[in-house]
Amino acid sequence: MNTIPQSTDVVVIGGGPAGSTAANMLAQKGYEVVLLDQARHPRPVVGESILPHFWKYAEQLGVLEDIENEGFLLKAGGLTIWNGEIRQMKLSDFGFERPGMHVERDVFDNILLRGAERKGVQVFEEVKVREVHLDDAANRAVSYMDKNSGEAGQIACKYIVDASGQAAVIANQLKFREFDPDLRFMCVWGYYENSDYIGYGGQIYPFEDRWHKDRRPVTFASGLGDWGWCWHLVQKDLTSVGLVMGPKEAAKFKAGGGSLEERFARGVARVPVTSKLLEAGALAPDSVRAIRDFAYRPTQLCGDGWYLAGDASAFVDPINSAGVAVSFYTGYLAAWSVAASLEKPERAEYYRTLFDSLVRQRLSLYRISALPEGVNSYAEEDYPLALQAAQFEKNSEQELLLVQVYLTHRRENLRRLYEMDNRIKYDHTDRYDTLPHLIGPDGSPFHIDEPDGVMA
Ligand SMILES: Cc1cc2nc3c(=O)[nH]c(=O)nc-3n(C[C@H](O)[C@H](O)[C@H](O)COP(=O)(O)OP(=O)(O)OC[C@H]3O[C@@H](n4cnc5c(N)ncnc54)[C@H](O)[C@@H]3O)c2cc1C
């Protein structure tokens, strides 16, 4: 096994999509990169609905074939049920050349990490970063603990990219991590065996049909209580189901008796349609996990000698399946900024400013798109930034986000953008369909006569 070097050009903290992307791109540019991850991959992680934006990065990262060969389940689009209204959209309507996917994230992330390694990144797993030393450029370094040997060490470096996800190493150390007061929620998720699923057109299919090319699944989401929601996405072997609960629903969920598994199964049973899809299914043993209050704001994104990428920079409600796409974007941009700064150190501040403004604009657009309607404590700051991101030349990725907001009943959040610049498209009715009903496995109309599910 290689020993951890004492110095390098760049240390990347974390081997999720953001860290692997940043490290891979920097290695491709000829820099010496050390990536440390406290876990051993493949490691469990949630976030399995992957938007088709991914493919352009896959090509650049040299993992296209590995992803194709893995044979993740391809999806047709999205379908939502909010307040009894059924809406669907098809990804191919947005000009993407390749479909989105439902992936097993442990496998997906491992492919990305091994891809970075092939490009020359020195990867060390089960090595936890304990502290970063940023004050003095001549002594910039990362302190770590090797979890296997128990040995502590330090790597001197010119730059640090923090892609440590929710652990947010730098933001916590420098105490600028700020939780998002508008997105206080709890999420509980688990995996089911043998669940039925929904395809484009609203047809319900049995689990075994999921590979049929004309019966590709959609990512299915339904409204839950005040502003929560429930996801249902079928994968290769299992189906991922999650409840995202606002404070009221979370309080009811917590007050319910029994184990986490029991409360989760009861909560899911109260979600119309999802409970039907799961009628023949069974909750996989030890598969239920919970997380709370994990949305936070991008207070700082970079500084002298360091950049944040992926969840380490900010996070919102995952309702638009944008987390992994943002990780690729920020990882890619962090690599670009670090490389440019190493090449022209006298311009480093300019590259930081550029990174900060590009990332901040995009994060604001994603934040607005994920907020419950009528809520934004940071509207004065968010809207002008989001407008800049939305004013970019129209492209399929942006168009998709604006339509997703329709499907998840968060469209009013965009009205102000439209009022600021009426070239931002507000009316997307041509890009999604409303269905009168779903179609049951036997071909008969499947009506939803229950209200949106609640935990009570
Ligand atoms: C409930 C939920 C549902 C979601 N659904 C979706 C979805 O459907 N689609 C989507 O695109 N996104 C989704 N997301 C978001 C997505 O999962 C994240 O945005 C994505 O994983 C972020 O990637 P990352 O590389 O920034 O961090 P991560 O993937 O979290 O990777 C961070 C890595 O850093 C390592 N690390 C942490 N601390 C240290 C340390 N001190 N030293 C060394 N290593 C460290 C960890 O071991 C980990 O491997 C969801 C998120 C949640 C919470």
Integer Cα distance of 407 and 221 in angstroms:
9
Tell me how far the alpha carbon of residue 258 lies from the centroid of ligand 1, in angstroms: 29
- The residue whose C-alpha atom lies closest to atom 41 belonging to ligand 1 is 129
Integer Cα distance of 80 and 220 in angstroms:
6
Beta strands in 41-107 (DSSP E): 49-50, 73-75, 77-82, 85-90, 100-102
- The residue whose C-alpha atom lies closest to atom 5 belonging to ligand 1 is 47
Q: Which atom of ligand 1 sits closest to the CA of residue 109?
A: 29
Tell me how far the alpha carbon of residue 430 lies from the centroid of ligand 1, in angstroms: 34
Q: What pLDDT, on the 0 to 100 scale, is given for residue 346?
A: 98
- The residue whose C-alpha atom lies closest to atom 12 belonging to ligand 1 is 323
Q: What domains lie within the chain, and their CATH numbers?
A: 7-76+102-179+297-349 (3.50.50.60)
Integer Cα distance of 118 and 105 in angstroms:
20
Integer Cα distance of 107 and 95 in angstroms:
27
Q: What pLDDT, on the 0 to 100 scale, is given for residue 83?
A: 85
Integer Cα distance of 103 and 70 in angstroms:
10
Q: Which atom of ligand 1 sits closest to the CA of residue 130?
A: 41
Predicted model pTM: 0.96
Q: Which atom of ligand 1 sits closest to the CA of residue 312?
A: 26
- 3-state SS, residue 4: coil
- The residue whose C-alpha atom lies closest to atom 31 belonging to ligand 1 is 16
Total Cβ atoms within 10 A of residue 288: 20
**71 DSSP 8-state letter:** T
Integer Cα distance of 412 and 426 in angstroms:
9
Q: What pLDDT, on the 0 to 100 scale, is given for residue 112?
A: 98
Integer Cα distance of 386 and 329 in angstroms:
16
**324, 362, 404, best to mutate for ligand 1 pocket (most atoms within 8 Å of CB):** 324
Q: Which atom of ligand 1 sits closest to the CA of residue 128?
A: 42
**172, 327, 329, 369, best to mutate for ligand 1 pocket (most atoms within 8 Å of CB):** 327
φ and ψ at residue 94, rounded to 5 degrees = -105, 10
- Partners of residue 187 on adjacent β-strands: 244, 291
* 318 and 294 Cβ atoms separated by less than 8 Å: no
pLDDT (tens digit per residue) in 88-145: 999 999 988 899 999 999 999 999 999 999 999 999 999 999 999 999 999 999 999 9
- The residue whose C-alpha atom lies closest to atom 33 belonging to ligand 1 is 14
pLDDT mean values, one per 10 residues, the chain (456 residues): 92 98 98 98 97 94 97 96 92 91 98 98 98 94 97 98 97 95 93 98 97 96 89 98 92 91 94 93 96 88 98 94 96 98 98 97 94 90 92 80 91 89 83 94 82 53
Q: What pLDDT, on the 0 to 100 scale, is given for residue 456?
A: 46
Contact residues of ligand 1, CB 6 A cut-off: 13-19, 36-39, 43, 45-50, 128-129, 163-167, 169, 187, 189, 242, 291, 294, 310-312, 318, 321-325, 327
Q: Which amino acid is located at 178 in the chain?
A: E
- Partners of residue 10 on adjacent β-strands: 33, 159
Contacts for 164 with CB less than 8 Å, ≥ 6 apart: 13, 14, 19, 129, 312
- 3-state SS, residue 28: helix
- Reference 327, options 118, 93, 19; nearest CA is 19
DSSP per position, 48-65 = -EE-TTHHHHHHHHT-HH
- 3-state SS, residue 103: coil
Tell me how far the alpha carbon of residue 107 lies from the centroid of ligand 1, in angstroms: 13
